[in-house]
Amino acid sequence: MAELRAALRQDAAADTRLRLFGKLLREARDVDVWRFVTPPEVAAALPLLGRRLGRRRRFWEFLVDGWRDDGLLGR
């Protein structure tokens, strides 16, 4: 878990970070995602992840859009 957290840090190598970020959002249960990343990090990374999310992309877009509509995240 420590290795995954380190690979997901903002200063990690961009390719590795995006690959693992996509895998995390695609494969992990949404409640487990928060052990590794924050909602603002998800919102910021979402446009960069594109096809890496597969069918889960719509779920994450829905969630982030809802947070924004509720004023929990900036636009």
The DSSP letter of residue 11 is T
Determine the 3-state secondary structure of 19 from DSSP.
helix
Helices (H), 1-75: 2-8, 14-27, 30-33, 39-49, 57-69
Structural domain boundaries in the chain: 2-69
Mean pLDDT in residue range 50-60: 93
What tokens appear for 33 in the block? 């995602």
| pTM, 2 dp | 0.85
Q: What is the pLDDT confidence band of residue 5, given thresholds at 50, 70 and 90? A: confident
In this prediction, residue 9 carries a pLDDT of 84
